[in-house]
Structure 1
Amino acid sequence: MMDGDDDSKSSPALCHHRFPVRLAAAMAGSRVQVNKVHKTRFASKASRHVHKTSLKDKSKIAKSERNVSKGARAARIQRNKTIREQKRAALLKEKRASSGSNSSPRVIVLFGLSACVNLNSLAEDLLALLSTDGIGAMFPTVASFEYKLRTTVLKAPHGDLLSCMEMAKVADLIAFVASASSSCEEGSSNYYIDAFGSQCLSVFRALGLPSTVVLIRDLPNELKRRHDLKKTCTSSLASEFPEDCKFYPADTKDELHKFMWLFKEQRLTVPHWRNQRPYIMAQKVDLVADVCNSEKCTLLFTGYLRGRSLSVNQLVHVSGAGDFQLYKIEILKDPCPLNVRKEGDFMDSDQVHDVQVISSLVPDPLKQEPLLVENVPDPLAGEQTWPTEAEMAEADRNQEKKLKKRTLPRGTSEYQAAWIVDNSDIDYSDSDDEADDDMLLDETDSGFPGQGGNEKLGH
């Protein structure tokens, strides 16, 4: 019995050493601390304060009202989701329209901040990078199969303010080019910008700047000196451009390759006034003389239509010439297609100048806008017209009548004089004298008591 008791007493100890984890959990029982779950994280304000509501008020809360609140929340979530999807679709549509195969080429305008910047070498490097076969280097518009992008590269002439303004008006991206090894004159406000560059910057800000970048050229080959000079140039030019303007080195082919990839993916912003009407950047201009009338001619513009749609019946404005009617619109085959290898439209350099007309649009004489600068007055419509000579003479006579000297009684104000008609004007100078005489007669005839008694006493 003693041995059995010893065995029975020792058995739990053996089990305890053999299964320590399970027994510890089982033996703990209700003595284990269990914390309350924090449930107010996803609870509403009404549910957190429901314990403060009396039973009478709780009964007043109907089930329909709770369902209405749940339905409003679901409708709000659905509406926000619809708005997000619409914005995403609009952004995708805008991206396809700006960089797709059917979109017009993106226009890059190279503008030198000083006269010592060499834009010709930069334009040649960009065109050589975009055109793999070398054809695009001859023309400003290039279709790149590697970047899947069509680009027009223009060089702003330094010193010609009007040409720089015209290029800035149609630019999708203005690339300001600065030379790290240049030093401008002492009168300029910036070390890398000369006087003409500062003038153009102020004009561009007044017109409205599109997307802008700054390309830094002529950096040294030494890595540390190159980094320090780029940092100095960036800090010096940062105050002259918008906050979102990026600075890129543009000396090597790899640096230009990085810039073009970022340019392809960039969402370009243009001034608001540019999207309000259609416009064409002329890539080719021809002049055809009129056989019947030597003083007239026909101007032919060739280019990509940008902005909004253009009607053949509306007037067009030519910069520096005025408003004109359209003779016709010819839809041409794309001279610079993006998918030429796929569509089989590849053109040799001799065929680039050939023009293939797909269709033509002729204006409707009944719907075409007339070339009327001034409005033709209609006498039956009661419109305000320029006065005739008879009306001007009558106005002069009326003015003379108003300036005629009028004799008015003393103390008459301007307001009282305005009520007196010319026909009823009286010579108040004579009437005043007569009034004075009448007053004297009245005084002599009137029998005052004192005067009568004195006369009797005198007699």
Structure 2
Amino acid sequence: MAIEKGIAHRAGAFKQSNKEHKHGRHRSKGSISVTTKGKVSVKNISKRNKRELNREQRRNQSVQIRQNKRDEVLAKKRSLGGMEFAPFLICVVPLNKDIDPNTALTLLCQCDEEAIVSRTTTGVTNISMPRFKQRFQFVVQDKDHDFAVLDTLKVADTVLFLLSAATGIEDREAVVDDWGNSILSTSFAQGLPTPLVVVTDLESIVPKKRNEIKQDIQKIVNKWLPNEKILVLDKNVDGVNVLRKIGNQKQKSVLYRDHRPHLFGEEIEYVPDSEGTLGTLKITGYLRGTALSVNQLVHIPGLGDFQLSQIDAPNDPHKFDKSKDKNLDSENQAVIRVLERCDPTKQESLDSENIPNPMDAEQTWPTEEEMETAEKEQKLKKVKKVPKGWSDYQAAWIPDEDAEFVLDESEEENDEDEFMDAMSEEQSDEEDNYKDSDTVAESEVAVNDDKYDKDLDIHAEKQALEKLKAAKSDRDFPDEIDTPLDTPASVRFQKYRGLESFRTSPWDPKENLPSDYARIFEFQNFYRTKKRVLKEQEDKDGALPGWFLTVHVKGVSQLLWTNFQETKAPITLIGMFPYEHKMSVMNVVLRRTHNYNLPIKSKERLVFQCGYRRFIVNPIFSSHTNGRKHKFERYFQPESTSVATFYAPIQFPPAPVLCYKEVNNKLVLIGTGSLLSCNPDRLVVKRIVLSGYPFKIHKKSAVIRFMFFNRNDIVYFKPVKLRTRMGRTGHIKEPLGTHGHMKCIFDGHLNSQDTVMLNLYKRVFPKWTYEDLIVSCVKDSMEN
């Protein structure tokens, strides 16, 4: 076809445009628009719908955002300790038992002539400073009651650590004694509020040595608080500086405390009911944290969980007017306003456990034919015992040569079987020799050592030695046990199963659950529920933080309150989230401390402080690893990290965890950590290892002995894979003879010094031993 003269060809929309060479030169907007030929990306089209700001408008927008954030921070800082908000709550803690904190508190009360000082019946000292327009509350707890100090630190805004320069003249390390070190370690593990370190008695030192002693004390403080500068408290001017520092320093955030409403009791009143043994406890103080609703549950350490009946708003007795220089409510303090009364339809229940219905598992009533068949099966003589609650998968491990299955009456194995250790004759002889030498030593004791022997518990010493031996054996030969000679291995280990791979083999978390699992509560998505609960707490209606309130706690036992008063412990009220009164399976991560060097056995009685709650349980320990299955640990070894699992009320993380053990009638801190999850489906799998030794080796084939002692056990465990210490894998081919020898095939040449192992697994569960640490236990710890 001929092209007409004077008409040029124009490329269409689908003309191919090749990529240009990257010459490295900058392209202008005009060249880019020419290249694109009017084509616009989808991102640019979407941006056109938004308002486009020029450079000046963007600058103004960033300035406004920055100014709003600054104003928010300043408003929050100015509200702390102000006239319309709660005063600073300071807990005075000496780091040496020889220091009297009341001396320093007296100096703080007398440092300003215009200060208004008052004391409550519970020992709270209120200081109002007109010159700073701030208010302060100081609390001093008994040094012999560690739990009282910890409970006060849970709700305090600032902790004032006291040091004395006079105690460090001869020995600088004596400035902080053992009690001070323990308080520091526990308070750090629990969640330390805003710290402030003050040194007293510096004026009693020779002027030439004051600066040197102060520098030495600063070095000691830097080990615990590297960014904290110490202050001196010897004069009135020093007291004013300390109060100014408390009012101006940046407050440290403690998440598990700030997310919940909390109140420190300044005035306490108990009103018994007209009938019955219960009463109402009225707690008056300043609300801190978040809003408190009358329909939510509250927790009082040492007393337990309770419901509220109403919340009152009395006039603030510590409020003052700077112009008049007196209290505003001095003439009219009896006015009380009722803020909120409880609504029984909206109030949370105190039911902590689910009540299972035993008829839920029943489907239909058996027919006559089924009952006759069951009677005939019961008359059969040939039976095979199986553990109670076994599934079809587990029952398949036992060969059923036309045998019927019956339930085993024993639900759990004996504790001796649970923690069975391989002990040779030499070890038993060593124990006998130890006992003989012990008796000889007792006969040769000198008269001067009688007093020492009276204080020494020989039985406890022997138990500690046995525990050390068992823990050492478990550490050197983990999970290895001896196959019993008098009991078939197929019966002794019938609750165990073999796994192709511990990491990838499937295990149903809902299989063969104990009856206690019917009493607990479980979340479909725990972290999504936590996010929703925290969001609801921020938008909750009720008494706002900073208000002076009187909270009516109903249902407090009169006997419980009488015993609690004898302990002289502080009253701290903490608001609980929804579901935090329900029981579930809790998992906490623990790290061993250096206070206790002996191993801790699983299912041993321990005292836990998880967040605001304190209780007694018998946990089981497991490895802190990724994956769905976690190996059970018989001992919580020193200098190790493990996960403790137990039944306890639900809590939402973050929550610090402290673990104590009772040693010689005293509680010793053995571990610290944090709350991991609330997950009943966490698989804690116990492993046992049966070991055998090569007898004859021919290339990849070998005869193994001492793993089993009869032919039936070899046939029973034939499907389980074998492993060796040197990394070989294999399987049982056939039994040889009737005394436990078996022919095995491996993936390589077997070493004569190698050990053949067979791994078996079963899931373990904690025992329901939860017990609230309330008045009786706190009273015992104080007496000790």
TM-score range, shorter chain: 0.5 to 0.7
- Structure showing greater relative contact order (alpha-carbon pairs closer than 8 Å, 6 or more residues apart): 2
When residues 238 and 326 of structure 1 are mapped into structure 2, their CA distance, relative to the original with a 3 A threshold, is: same
1:394 is displaced (CA, Å) by 9.3
Looking at secondary structure, tell me which structure has more strand per residue: 2
Q: C-alpha offsets along residues 346-386 of structure 1, whole Å, 9 cap, x if unaligned? A: 466xx79x643023421112111111111245789989xxx
Looking at structure 2, the residues matched to 264 and 227 of structure 1 have their Cα atoms a distance apart, in angstroms, of: 27
Report the counterpart of residue 288 of structure 2 in structure 1: 306
Would you say 1:152 and 2:131 are equivalent positions?
no
When residues 374 and 131 of structure 1 are mapped into structure 2, their CA distance, relative to the original with a 3 A threshold, is: farther
Q: C-alpha offsets along residues 99-128 of structure 1, whole Å, 9 cap, x if unaligned? A: 321110101111111122121111011122
Looking at structure 2, the residues matched to 185 and 323 of structure 1 have their Cα atoms a distance apart, in angstroms, of: 49
8 Å CA contact 1:176, 1:212 repeated in 2: yes
Identity percentage of aligned residues: 24
Q: Which amino acid aligns with 1:406?
A: E
Report the counterpart of residue 446 of structure 1 in structure 2: none
Would you say 1:219 and 2:202 are equivalent positions?
yes
Q: C-alpha offsets along residues 52-93 of structure 1, whole Å, 9 cap, x if unaligned? A: 87996696699999x99x947556534532331231122022
8 Å CA contact 1:284, 1:302 repeated in 2: yes
Q: Which amino acid aligns with 2:139?
A: L
1:205 is displaced (CA, Å) by 0.7
1:42-191 to 2 correspondence within 5 Å? 71=53, 76-129=58-111, 132=114, 135-136=117-118, 140-183=125-168, 190-191=173-174
Would you say 1:196 and 2:179 are equivalent positions?
yes
1:14-413 to 2 correspondence within 5 Å? 71=53, 76-129=58-111, 132=114, 135-136=117-118, 140-183=125-168, 190-220=173-203, 222-241=206-225, 243-293=226-276, 295-339=277-321, 345-346=327-328, 355-377=334-356, 403=398, 405-406=400-401
Report the counterpart of residue 425 of structure 1 in structure 2: none
1:146 is displaced (CA, Å) by 1.9
Looking at structure 2, the residues matched to 198 and 342 of structure 1 have their Cα atoms a distance apart, in angstroms, of: 46
8 Å CA contact 2:116, 2:129 repeated in 1: no
When residues 381 and 229 of structure 1 are mapped into structure 2, their CA distance, relative to the original with a 3 A threshold, is: same
8 Å CA contact 2:115, 2:130 repeated in 1: no
8 Å CA contact 1:110, 1:175 repeated in 2: yes
In the alignment, structure 1 segments of 5+ residues that lack a partner are: 1-47, 384-391, 418-459
Looking at structure 1, the residues matched to 253 and 134 of structure 2 have their Cα atoms a distance apart, in angstroms, of: 19
1:130 is displaced (CA, Å) by 5.3
1:157 is displaced (CA, Å) by 2.5
Looking at structure 2, the residues matched to 397 and 235 of structure 1 have their Cα atoms a distance apart, in angstroms, of: 64
When residues 311 and 55 of structure 1 are mapped into structure 2, their CA distance, relative to the original with a 3 A threshold, is: closer
Looking at structure 2, the residues matched to 401 and 258 of structure 1 have their Cα atoms a distance apart, in angstroms, of: 77
SS of 2:167 mapped into structure 1: coil
Q: C-alpha offsets along residues 168-210 of structure 1, whole Å, 9 cap, x if unaligned? A: 1122111111111104998xx9331101100010001101111
Q: Which amino acid aligns with 2:337?
A: I
In the alignment, structure 2 segments of 5+ residues that lack a partner are: 1-23, 363-385, 404-714, 720-784
Looking at structure 2, the residues matched to 54 and 360 of structure 1 have their Cα atoms a distance apart, in angstroms, of: 66
* TM-score in terms of structure 1 length: 0.65
Looking at structure 1, the residues matched to 37 and 238 of structure 2 have their Cα atoms a distance apart, in angstroms, of: 69
Q: Which amino acid aligns with 2:222?
A: A
SS of 2:337 mapped into structure 1: strand
Q: Which amino acid aligns with 1:361?
A: E
1:405 is displaced (CA, Å) by 3.9
SS of 1:364 mapped into structure 2: coil
SS of 1:286 mapped into structure 2: strand
Looking at secondary structure, tell me which structure has more helix per residue: 1
Q: C-alpha offsets along residues 262-287 of structure 1, whole Å, 9 cap, x if unaligned? A: 22222211311111110110011111
1:303 is displaced (CA, Å) by 0.7
Q: C-alpha offsets along residues 305-350 of structure 1, whole Å, 9 cap, x if unaligned? A: 11100001111111111111111111110111032755975466xx
Looking at structure 1, the residues matched to 391 and 251 of structure 2 have their Cα atoms a distance apart, in angstroms, of: 66
Looking at structure 2, the residues matched to 54 and 192 of structure 1 have their Cα atoms a distance apart, in angstroms, of: 72
1:230 is displaced (CA, Å) by 1.2
Q: Which amino acid aligns with 1:88?
A: R
When residues 213 and 395 of structure 1 are mapped into structure 2, their CA distance, relative to the original with a 3 A threshold, is: closer
When residues 61 and 401 of structure 1 are mapped into structure 2, their CA distance, relative to the original with a 3 A threshold, is: closer
When residues 132 and 62 of structure 1 are mapped into structure 2, their CA distance, relative to the original with a 3 A threshold, is: farther
SS of 2:219 mapped into structure 1: helix
Looking at structure 2, the residues matched to 406 and 91 of structure 1 have their Cα atoms a distance apart, in angstroms, of: 77
Q: Which amino acid aligns with 1:357?
A: I
Report the counterpart of residue 22 of structure 1 in structure 2: none
SS of 1:206 mapped into structure 2: helix
Looking at structure 1, the residues matched to 401 and 127 of structure 2 have their Cα atoms a distance apart, in angstroms, of: 85
Q: Which amino acid aligns with 2:218?
A: T
Q: C-alpha offsets along residues 377-410 of structure 1, whole Å, 9 cap, x if unaligned? A: 5789989xxxxxxxx99958989998564179xx
SS of 2:351 mapped into structure 1: coil
SS of 1:328 mapped into structure 2: strand
Looking at structure 1, the residues matched to 344 and 350 of structure 2 have their Cα atoms a distance apart, in angstroms, of: 12
Q: Which amino acid aligns with 1:302?
A: T
Q: C-alpha offsets along residues 229-259 of structure 1, whole Å, 9 cap, x if unaligned? A: 2112112221122x33221011111112122
SS of 2:199 mapped into structure 1: strand
Give the greater-gyration-radius structure (CA).
Answer: 1
Looking at structure 2, the residues matched to 227 and 271 of structure 1 have their Cα atoms a distance apart, in angstroms, of: 35
When residues 92 and 61 of structure 1 are mapped into structure 2, their CA distance, relative to the original with a 3 A threshold, is: farther
8 Å CA contact 1:286, 1:301 repeated in 2: yes
1:296 is displaced (CA, Å) by 0.9
Q: Which amino acid aligns with 2:242?
A: F
Looking at structure 1, the residues matched to 151 and 295 of structure 2 have their Cα atoms a distance apart, in angstroms, of: 25
When residues 296 and 72 of structure 1 are mapped into structure 2, their CA distance, relative to the original with a 3 A threshold, is: same
Report the counterpart of residue 740 of structure 2 in structure 1: none
The aligned length equals: 350
8 Å CA contact 1:131, 1:143 repeated in 2: no
8 Å CA contact 1:172, 1:211 repeated in 2: yes
8 Å CA contact 1:178, 1:215 repeated in 2: yes
When residues 219 and 290 of structure 1 are mapped into structure 2, their CA distance, relative to the original with a 3 A threshold, is: same
When residues 328 and 60 of structure 1 are mapped into structure 2, their CA distance, relative to the original with a 3 A threshold, is: same
8 Å CA contact 2:202, 2:210 repeated in 1: yes
Looking at structure 1, the residues matched to 92 and 245 of structure 2 have their Cα atoms a distance apart, in angstroms, of: 17
